[in-house]
Amino acid sequence: MSCSNMTLRPLAKAILLALASVSCISQPAWAESAESAEAADSNVAPSIERIQVTGRLMSSAAITAAERREQSQVTEILDAEMISRIGDSDVAAALKRITGLTLIDNKFIYVRGLGERYSSTLLNGAMVPSPDPTRNVVPLDMFPTAIIESLMVQKTFSVDQPASFGGGGVNIRTLSLPRERVFELSLGTGYNSLNSDDGLEYAGGDDDWRGRDDGTRGLPTDIQQALDLYGSLETIPIARQLGGINAENLARAETINRELGVALNRDMDIERTSIGPDMDASLTYGDSLQLTDKLTFGAIGSFAYDRSSRNIDEQERYYSITSGSELTPLVRYDDISGTEYSTQVSSIVNFGLNYDNMHTLESSTIYLLDTSDEVKLKVGDTIETINEPNRENMDYSARYEERTLTANQFRGDHHFDFLSDLNMQWQWTDARARRYAPGEVEYRYIRSTQDDGSQTATLRRSDNAVQYIFGDMKDRTENGSIDFKLPVSLASWELELQGGYMYFQRSRNSEVDRFKLDSRGFDNVELQQRFSEIFSDANILDPSKNFAISDVTAQADDYVAAQQLDAFYLGLDSMLNDTWRFTLGARYEDFRQLALPLSPSTGEIQGDPAEYPLLDEDWYPSAALTWLFHPDMQVRFGLSQSVVRPDLREVTPVLYVDPITDFNVIGFQDLESSKLLNADVRWEWYLPSGNSLSVGAFYKDIDAPIESIEIMGSDGNLLVSFRNAEEGSIYGVETEFVRRLGGLWSTSPGWLDQFFVAGNLTLSDSDIRIQRFGASNITNLERRMSGHSEYVVNAQLGFDSNNERHSATLSYNVFGERINFAGVNGKDDAYEQPFHSVDATYSYYPVEGLSLKLAAKNLLGERTEILQQGEILQGRDPGTSVSASLTYRF
């Protein structure tokens, strides 16, 4: 990566212009200043009486049930009260309580057993970039529940939403403007059972406490200048740039190379340390001001900080088949320990004006920072040592990354009485995401055991003894939309005509630098020293010791990419005799995507740019029918077509490490979009006091689904890539209920009225047909879809005291085993095993406005595991967490 941002940014801009040129829709002049607005709920449905009931959660359940009932599509809703009660601290953890949703790595949601590629995330109705370069969707653990008003999961596609819709879409709705003064202060602490053992640490920076590197880990300026000046760090290229290859220039070049080695941060000794408790705090304040009889101004702001530490207890293996169907391990790390230090900072500031409840203007500024600093020690074997009982590897690594998301949103909602009650909503969002990984370091010691039982650890003698990796990825999106709704009354019909336009553009610059250090110039005694002593300034600058720092940035480690989307839709929402509701429409989308790998030395595009564009232009219709045949019951039907498009990383032939599985992954540029046919039916029963019951069924037919498969790797390491299968389908049933235990029978005791049960169950199956690809001999050409679970269960037992001073919830969640990736060469598919999660929370409200909450997670002490033919591929112990928080509000 010798090219700088000054080079990459104009190139990314040029790509955007090139994409625009292939579109049949010209960009209107206002597209640069308008943003995608959240589609408003239809106003044609009959109003529902909202019953005030006793009990904090049951009251919340009644409100959300009423909102869900009024939707034209199959929708699930969680509000802030429900999230707070269960005790989840971020959006991802909260969403796994919704019917058919499961969570992977505490970050990404699987909807109806489909992987995260089949879900989409909107922020207040707007498309925003992801700071995770390995996924198209935003990591949902970045959103603390402190800034959330509600979460809406739409499971059937409607034309006012982006057509990139698979299992479902998540809309994160942040805090809205208050009607009166709001103040809330919360302080909390927590501890994990794994932290009873010592953790690992290294010398970081002075600003680590706030989730920012102070420059300690960053790429040294001297190295960047040398790359720009010489094009390489190698001795011969430097000598050539100095005037020619001769003894004098070679000597000068060697000195320069050693000085560049000294510029690196080598204070990377990993030490044992004790782990303290977690801590978090949040503050929210808002108020409204009546400026005139008709004009109201409101503002609200919230800030949250969370600092936590988690010890690591993991296991990794990888196998080959040598004869028959037996697996032979090539990589075996059964002792993986370490510590992950996390810092999360979030803030939101909203301002708004309301004029006569007819015109509303709002602005939101959202900032999210999620920093992870992981220190790890892996003890075990690779293919070189696995058959040597007296030798094993000790792999040390430090991975630090800052993920940030900043979004500025402006929204408007306008009603025009003089235009037959025309409603216009608009939104414009400018958002930026960044993944900054200033210094990832990896090195290996070989530990030998002598006959007398003594052990020595020696740094591996190699020209690649140490690796330094510096990464920086920046995303920027602009998203604008405008929506119109016009009510019309015709005899027994109540109609609402709908239409709108959306524009989205995204540009990405991704840069990676990789360097290695040569240890072959040191003797065995020296290599048995600590890392900082081996690579001390004196040793590196000593001309009697062979030392070299080399630039090993791979081809296509750097890339630029862009996306553009133009879309418009027309729809009709109608009600006949307050009994039949018809929602019809069609959405047209013109999507263009281009990802170009760059040469790390010259910054030039690798390959033919004409082979990289992904163009997708199509119509996506949707039809929904709701039969309100009973005052408390209704039946929904839905039929639609949608699309799932490959992510930028998946179509870029760049090798990277999946942060969830630690598997090596490489993109495939010939991926195609998957087209889906979606069908749904659901019966809903709404009872007084928030009780409800629903039963539904769904079916999805997928053309060219994208699947994760294993391909031929090197050095015995697992390598995963992506391919389009021929076709696939998924189908199932799901049910959800909320029921107060009081009144179950005529003579039930009164104290039972303080308890309730809630839960949901999804049962489904899937199938896929995939063909063989090149050298990869896929074992199962017909199987279930990757990421699909045959069952998902959520259950809750809740308690609300009659005096509303006490509340408690016991929650249970489990998903069925799911394919992590497809096996090859006779190996079966790799399956992630079920994880039985049991969590508990208790809240005490001693006085008005004050609450104390106690929570415990993973009470069963479950481990996450990925198995292949019954053998462990990966195992992780998340430990059992306990936390306490004190909140004051008025």
pLDDT digits (tens, 9 = 90+) for 388-430: 889 999 999 999 999 898 999 999 999 999 999 999 999 999 9
User: Is the distance from CB of 462 to CB of 506 less than 8 angstroms?
Assistant: no
CA atoms in the 13 A half-sphere facing the CB of 185: 1
User: Is the distance from CB of 281 to CB of 347 less than 8 angstroms?
Assistant: no
Q: Cα 136 vs. chain centroid, distance in angstroms?
A: 8
What is the structure's pLDDT at 712? 61
| Residue with token string 């074997």 | 381
Query: What is the mean pLDDT of the segment spanning 243-258?
Result: 90
713: helix, strand or coil: coil
Reply yes or no on whether the pLDDT at 570 is more than 70: yes
What is the structure's pLDDT at 402? 93
CA distance to 10, 36, 427, per residue, from 430 (Å): 19, 10, 10
What is the structure's pLDDT at 29? 30
**Structure tokens, 91:** 């959006």
User: Is the distance from CB of 728 to CB of 705 less than 8 angstroms?
Assistant: yes
Query: What is the mean pLDDT of the segment spanning 48-53?
Result: 36
DSSP character for 469? E
d(CA 456, CA 375): 22
Burial 153-181 (b: 16+ CB within 10 A, else e): bbbbbbbbbbbbbbbbbbbbbbbbbbeee
Reply yes or no on whether the pLDDT at 527 is more than 90: yes
- Return the HEC string of 73-97: CCEEEEEHHHHHHHCCCEHHHHHCC
Reply yes or no on whether the pLDDT at 512 is more than 80: yes
Reply yes or no on whether the pLDDT at 562 is more than 70: yes
What is the structure's pLDDT at 8? 39
Question: pLDDT tier at 144 (50, 70, 90 boundaries)?
Answer: low
**Percentage of the chain surpassing pLDDT 70?**
83
Question: pLDDT tier at 102 (50, 70, 90 boundaries)?
Answer: low
Tell me: the pLDDT tens digits for 319-338? 887 767 788 888 999 999 99
Task: Kindly provide the residue ranges of all beta strands, DSSP E only, lying in 271-325, ordered along the sequence.
Answer: 271-273, 278-290, 295-323
Bigger pLDDT: 85 vs 373: 373
Tell which phi-psi region holds residue 487, choosing left (phi > 0), alpha (psi between -120 and 50) or beta.
Answer: beta
Query: What is the mean pLDDT of the segment spanning 63-81?
Result: 73
Integer distance in angstroms from the first to the last C-alpha of the chain?
53
Question: pLDDT tier at 209 (50, 70, 90 boundaries)?
Answer: very high
Tell me: the pLDDT tens digits for 165-182? 877 777 888 877 788 888
**Structure tokens, 629:** 């045949």
Say how many C-beta atoms besides its own lie within 10 A of residue 215's C-beta.
Answer: 14
Reply yes or no on whether the pLDDT at 14 is more than 60: no
DSSP character for 541? H
Bigger pLDDT: 29 vs 334: 334
**Structure tokens, 395:** 């792999």
What is the structure's pLDDT at 123? 82
What is the structure's pLDDT at 571? 96
Reply yes or no on whether the pLDDT at 70 is more than 60: yes
User: Is the distance from CB of 215 to CB of 400 less than 8 angstroms?
Assistant: no
Tell me: the pLDDT tens digits for 789-818? 899 888 888 888 888 889 888 989 888 898
Beta bridge partners of 296: 290, 354
**Percentage of the chain surpassing pLDDT 90?**
44
Phi, psi of 7 (to 5 degrees): -85, -40
Residues composing the chain: 890
Reply yes or no on whether the pLDDT at 154 is more than 60: yes
What is the structure's pLDDT at 201? 95
d(CA 538, CA 753): 76
What is the structure's pLDDT at 754? 86
Question: pLDDT tier at 536 (50, 70, 90 boundaries)?
Answer: very high
Of the candidate ranges 48-57, 293-302, 669-678, 860-869, the one whose mean pLDDT is the lowest: 48-57
257: helix, strand or coil: helix
User: Is the distance from CB of 569 to CB of 12 less than 8 angstroms?
Assistant: no
231: helix, strand or coil: coil
Question: Packing angle between helix 221-230 and helix 247-263, nearest 10 degrees?
Answer: 150
d(CA 482, CA 502): 7
**Structure tokens, 508:** 């990405």
What is the structure's pLDDT at 525? 92
d(CA 129, CA 61): 32
d(CA 508, CA 476): 7
**Domain 189-215+269-517+554-889 in this protein, CATH class:** mainly beta
Could you tell me what percentage of the chain is helix, strand and coil, using 3-state DSSP and rounding each to the nearest 5?
15, 55, 30
247: helix, strand or coil: helix
Tell me: the pLDDT tens digits for 374-388? 999 999 999 888 888
d(CA 654, CA 387): 32
User: Is the distance from CB of 654 to CB of 667 less than 8 angstroms?
Assistant: yes
Question: pLDDT tier at 106 (50, 70, 90 boundaries)?
Answer: low
pTM: 0.84
For residue 728, give the H/E element and its range: strand 727-740
What is the structure's pLDDT at 88? 55
Phi, psi of 441 (to 5 degrees): -125, 135
What is the structure's pLDDT at 265? 94
d(CA 883, CA 87): 9
d(CA 691, CA 147): 28
145: helix, strand or coil: helix
What is the structure's pLDDT at 375? 96
Reply yes or no on whether the pLDDT at 691 is more than 50: yes
What is the structure's pLDDT at 326? 83
Tell me: the pLDDT tens digits for 451-489? 888 999 999 999 999 999 999 989 999 999 999 999 999
What is the structure's pLDDT at 615? 87
d(CA 152, CA 109): 13
What is the structure's pLDDT at 135? 62
Nearest to 228 by CA among 250, 264, 260, 262: 260
Bigger pLDDT: 196 vs 167: 196
What is the structure's pLDDT at 18? 44
847: helix, strand or coil: coil
d(CA 464, CA 461): 8
Of the candidate ranges 185-189, 287-291, 605-609, the one whose mean pLDDT is the lowest: 605-609
d(CA 532, CA 21): 54
What is the structure's pLDDT at 836? 93
Question: pLDDT tier at 133 (50, 70, 90 boundaries)?
Answer: low
CA distance to 140, 720, 878, per residue, from 107 (Å): 5, 20, 14
What is the structure's pLDDT at 96? 55
Task: Kindly provide the residue ranges of all beta strands, DSSP E only, lying in 745-868, ordered along the sequence.
Answer: 755-769, 782-783, 791-800, 806-815, 818-821, 830-832, 837-844, 850-857, 864-868
Phi, psi of 9 (to 5 degrees): -65, -45
**Structure tokens, 786:** 């990757």
**Structure tokens, 60:** 């919340």
Residues 6+ apart with CB under 8 A from 730: 112, 113, 114, 698, 699, 700, 702, 764, 765, 766, 785, 788
What is the structure's pLDDT at 746? 75
Of the candidate ranges 26-30, 284-288, 660-664, 686-690, the one whose mean pLDDT is the lowest: 26-30
- pLDDT, averaged across the chain: 83
